[in-house]
Amino acid sequence: MIAISDIFVAAFALIGTFFSLVTALGLIRLPDLYTRAHAASKSATLGVMSILISVIIYFVAEDGFFSSRVLLGIFFVLITAPIGGHLIARAAYYSDVPLWKGSVQDDLAKNPEHVNPKKRSTRK
């Protein structure tokens, strides 16, 4: 017999693993650091959050135990993972990691308050 909660548990776990796989593929396939940071911070956050939602539903349905720690974990990952991605990308930009050659826009290079504004090489 399959309960409705089982379907939700399986669905969220599959969504989470799918997005984690997408993250890994994006880290391998994308050309430069900024696009990789985009892949790693967005879809990994969604993947981990889906898996944790699946964990919450599983324990509520199976044991009747609502784990507030997992809820706190979802909230925490939601806040911190994008900030981590932002800080990594910013640190890379300020240490002059080149953009991918197909990039068309670099507004921060025009900023006069840019820290140590070296000439940016976009590798033609």
Residue ranges binding other proteins (CB under 8 A): 69, 72, 75-76, 79-80, 83, 86-87, 94, 115
CB of 48 to other proteins, least distance (A): 16
Q: How many CB atoms lie within 10 A of CB 80?
A: 11
Q: For the range 33-36, what are the long-range contacts, defined as Cβ-Cβ under 8 Å and sequence gap of 24 or more?
A: 33/88, 33/89, 33/92, 33/97, 34/89, 34/92, 34/93, 34/99, 34/100, 34/103, 35/100
CB of 57 to other proteins, least distance (A): 21
Q: Name the DSSP letter for residue 37.
A: H
Task: Report whether 98 contacts 32 (CB < 8 A).
Answer: yes
Please say whether the beta carbons of 23 and 39 come within 8 A: yes
Q: Which is nearer to other proteins, 28 or 68 (CB)?
A: 68
In the bound state with other proteins, the residue whose beta carbon lies nearer, of 3 and 91, is: 91
Q: How far is the CB of 108 from other proteins (least distance, A)?
A: 12
Closer residue to other proteins, CB minimum distance, 76 or 100: 76
Instruction: Report in angstroms how near the CB of residue 23 gets to other proteins at its nearest.
Output: 22
- CB nearer other proteins, residue 21 or residue 87: 87
